[in-house]
């Protein structure tokens, strides 16, 4: 009975350590745009604006990517999106943001395919 209790306590401690590590990594990833993300979520939920909530979700995706260029574009679009009084500017900022995210990931995939093809050609020679 004691062995089962000790194993249970050890498993709980391991799970707590894993949760703490994951939370630390997420906090490090979100530090740069956490303010804008929280602002976007809170504004989206308070005004029942789904675009702001979706924008916050894309902010999470971009924040988790290591590319610093994406983060700067994210911050610029976030400020223009949130601070703009005109709906058209908000929409344009949001659309540019989605387009940039989509095309940058597509370019990366193409680049990886070219690299793999090059490696395959080098192996064949």
Mean of all residue pLDDT scores within the chain: 63
| Residue-wise DSSP of 21-85 | HHHHHHHHHHTTTHHHHHHHHHHHHHTT-HHHHHHHHHHHHHHHS--HHHHHHHHHHHHHHHH-S
pLDDT digits (tens, 9 = 90+) for 85-124: 555 555 666 666 666 656 655 555 566 666 666 666 666 6
pTM here is 0.28
What is the residue extent of each domain of the chain? 1-31, 33-124
Q: What's the sign of the alpha-carbon dihedral 103, 23, 83, 90?
A: positive
């Amino acid at each position: 009975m004691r062995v089962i209790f000790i194993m249970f306590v050890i498993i709980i401690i391991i799970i707590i350590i894993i949760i703490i590590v994951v939370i630390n990594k997420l906090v490090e990833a979100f530090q740069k745009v956490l303010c804008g993300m929280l602002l976007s979520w809170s504004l989206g939920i308070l005004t029942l604006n789904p675009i702001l909530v979706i924008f916050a979700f894309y902010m999470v995706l971009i924040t988790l990517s290591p590319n610093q260029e994406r983060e700067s574009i994210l911050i610029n679009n976030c400020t223009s999106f949130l601070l703009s009084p005109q709906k058209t500017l908000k929409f344009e900022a949001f659309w540019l943001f989605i387009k940039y995210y989509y095309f940058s990931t597509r370019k990366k995939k193409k680049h990886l395919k070219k690299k793999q093809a090059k490696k395959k050609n080098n192996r064949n020679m």
